[in-house]
Amino acid sequence: MATKTLITAPVGFEFSSIFKSVIDTLVIWNERYAERSRLAEMDFRMLNDIGMDYADAQREAAKPFWQA
């Protein structure tokens, strides 16, 4: 008779920590997307107020959300 082996997680491994990590990553990505969208909509005066020029703002706004 063949015995079945159970697949078990390593000691100390918690699925909740993976879930939290995934959620944290999604939150960060959403924040980046929102910030870059707002940055893309700013005019020269607003950019000057935050110490950024138009070229830098466009470069940052063009980045994909998963890129820091």
In the chain, the N- to C-terminal Cα span, in Å, equals 54
Under 8 Å between Cβ of 42 and 49: no
Quick check: helix, strand or coil at residue 57?
Answer: helix
Neighbours of 52 (CB within 10 A): 15
Q: Model's pTM, two decimal places?
A: 0.72
What is the DSSP annotation of 4-53? P----PPTT--HHHHHHHHHHHHHHHHHHHHHHHHHHH--HHHHHHTT--
Asked whether residue 6 carries a pLDDT value surpassing 60, the answer given is no
Query: pLDDT (tens digit, 9 = 90+) per residue, 15-53?
Result: 788 888 999 999 999 999 999 999 999 999 999 999 999
